[in-house]
Amino acid sequence: MGEVELSCRAYVKMYLHACLFPRCSVNGLLLSSSSAGGAVCVTDCVPLLHSHLSLAPVTQLALTQVDVWCSQTQQRIVGYYQANACASDCSPTQAAMKIADKIAEQFDGAVVLMLDGSKMSPDYRVPPIVMYERKDSRWMLKDKHTIMLRQWEETHGIAIQMLESGDHSLLVDFDSHLDDITRDWTNQKLNAKIAELASPANGNI
Amino acid sequence: MASVSEMYDVGWEEMRDKLRKWREDNCRNSEQIVDVGEELIGEHSAKLGDDIWIIYEQVMIAALDCSRDDLALTCLQELRKQFPDSHRVKRLSGMRLEALERYDEANKHYDAILQDDPTNTAARKRKISILKAQGKSPEAIRELNEYLEQFVGDQEAWHELSELYINEHDYGKAAFCLEELMMSNPHNHLYCEQYAEVKYTQGGLENLELSRKYFAQALRLNNRNMRALFGLYMSASHIAASPKVSAKVKKDNIKYSAWAANQINRAYKVSCDFFRKDLNALNPLI
């Protein structure tokens, strides 16, 4: 299938989400603000859960709320990401595929992104990502060469820098929002911080 | 780099008391424990008296959590010197091996403890944790079930088992574990709410009605539990929308869901000025 582009903002937030909850499986949604057709540009992500990923109520609630926010902000849900608690296991779970199927119903080029926990340390120079796309109603591993990360070195650097300065504690996922509804799951503050660190060439698509 | 005592303007007694509080509350804020504990041990060990041993244990475990094997080994060696034949210290040695992913050696440590003392629950639980870490969920579940047959009152074990079942999508068995927990902890709103979420996930009218009841119970126990409030709204809405219910049940559930919607709206209005939640946003769920 087609190319998938992953923005700095989306990657950094996913990375920080996984680092914020190192002992839990975490998941979230991939969003795009570009129009349909051509490459899928993942411009943002919404971190969802860090507990009970396979239970329905909070997942359903989150999907609905993110959907509404997307329609208000000219974005769409184009995929799903997950990082498993067990760092050496980066295979998608049954629950992950169920959510992915739901997303694929609304968007043809939906992707599933698994973060590979064993490759997330700073010394790894390659994106710790495994992606799946839908071909003939089955989810297949996506060719690495069709996954683009613009300015990867800089993106990687920003992720590590923010982790080391403790900025991951600023990240709010939907689970945390439910614990304290004054916390913003759209992460505007964190987005601003990422934008500050990124050069214009690595800005939002 | 500034020391903890400099950064937060605290003395060694406050650092020691903070560590005690974290021990009592069973907090897993390992990075903080390492920062405070390392300084306390490094600079004030003579002042701590007998407290030092439990602090070594606490800091050692936190150090393992943060991949600080240097610090963990230092603490472990002090404990080994002081308590050479202790099972408790042997368990800590095993935990260090687990952190280094040397699971076979760790298991040997735990087996040795259990040979000496078959009732040692800590060693048994570590063995189960190893199975979990290795991704051997079915085996972990089996061992945990066997453990619970003997130690039926172990809350932590029941909760761990419910989590394992949820990950395996075995919601019926997860519900059973949560029922045990609710029986022994009737005032714990979190167990009620988790039970309700499992029932909701199982689906079907009967389970939805049970889920609504337990979301409501969780709210009675803690009226600020947002998950329970949303859960009540969603389960009541689904029941009201079901073609299989009587007119009366439909009417009642519309009332419950409207009440919940109102409460949700109020909660958001009070808390968020920038984050206005329109309840119409949730209507698509019906």
Rounded to two decimals, what is the model's pTM? 0.91
Handedness of CA A161, A28, B269, B231 (dihedral sign): negative
Summarised one tens digit per residue, pLDDT across range B167-181 is: 999 999 999 999 999
Q: Which among A58, A57, A55, A75 is positioned nearest to A67, based on CA atoms?
A: A75
Subunit contact B200:A56, Cβ cutoff 8 A: yes
Q: Residue A203's pLDDT is what?
A: 53
CB-defined contacts A:B, below 8 A? 67
Q: How far is A145 from chain B (nearest CA, A)?
A: 30
Is the pLDDT at B54 greater than 90? The verdict is yes
Average pLDDT of span B146-171: 96
Is the pLDDT at B86 greater than 70? The verdict is yes
Residue B201 forms contact with A (CB below 8 Å): yes
Is the pLDDT at B257 greater than 80? The verdict is yes
Q: Residue A26's pLDDT is what?
A: 97
Average pLDDT, chain B: 92
Q: Which among B129, B150, B149 is positioned nearest to B140, based on CA atoms?
A: B129
Q: Which residue has the tokens 């591993």?
A: A141
* Residue B279 confidence class, pLDDT cut points 50, 70, 90: very low
Is the pLDDT at B286 greater than 50? The verdict is no
* Residue A36 confidence class, pLDDT cut points 50, 70, 90: low
Domain-by-domain residue ranges, chain A? 4-198
> For the purposes of burial, counting CB atoms within 10 Å of the CB of A23, is it exposed (0-12), middle (13-18) or buried (19 or more)?
exposed
Subunit contact A181:B271, Cβ cutoff 8 A: yes
Subunit contact B268:A61, Cβ cutoff 8 A: no
For residue A187, the chain B residue with the least C-alpha distance is B275
For residue A90, the chain B residue with the least C-alpha distance is B135
Q: Which residue has the tokens 């714990």?
A: B188
Q: How far is A51 from chain B (nearest CA, A)?
A: 9
Q: Residue A205's pLDDT is what?
A: 41
Residue B61 forms contact with A (CB below 8 Å): no
Contacts of B231 in chain A (CB under 8 A): 57
Which stretches of B185-245 are DSSP H helices?
A: 189-202, 205-221, 226-241
Q: Residue B283's pLDDT is what?
A: 45
Contacts of A181 in chain B (CB under 8 A): 226, 267-268, 271-272, 275
Is the pLDDT at B113 greater than 80? The verdict is yes
Q: Which two tokens stand for residue B198?
A: 């499992």
Average pLDDT of span B99-113: 96
Summarised one tens digit per residue, pLDDT across range A90-130 is: 999 999 999 999 999 999 889 999 999 999 988 888 899 99
Is the pLDDT at A134 greater than 60? The verdict is yes
Residues sharing a CB contact under 8 Å with residue A154, sequence separation 6 or more, in sequence order: A8, A198, A199, A202
Percentage with pLDDT > 90 across chain B: 83
Subunit contact A86:B234, Cβ cutoff 8 A: no
- Give the amino acid at B185: N
* Residue B284 confidence class, pLDDT cut points 50, 70, 90: very low
Summarised one tens digit per residue, pLDDT across range A136-193 is: 888 999 998 888 888 899 999 999 999 999 999 999 999 999 999 999 999 999 999 9
For residue A22, the chain B residue with the least C-alpha distance is B65
CA distances B208 to A56, B14, B176, B200, Å, are 12, 50, 16, 5
Q: Residue B249's pLDDT is what?
A: 96
Relative to beta strand A44-49, strand A147-149 is unpaired
Average pLDDT, chain A: 91
Q: Residue A35's pLDDT is what?
A: 74
Q: Residue A182's pLDDT is what?
A: 93
Rg of chain B in Å (alpha carbons): 24
CATH ID of A4-198, from 2.40.110.10, 3.10.20.580, 1.10.150.120, 3.40.140.10: 3.40.140.10
Interface of A with B (CB under 8 A): 52, 54-58, 60-61, 64-65, 67-68, 86, 88-89, 93-95, 178-179, 181-182, 184
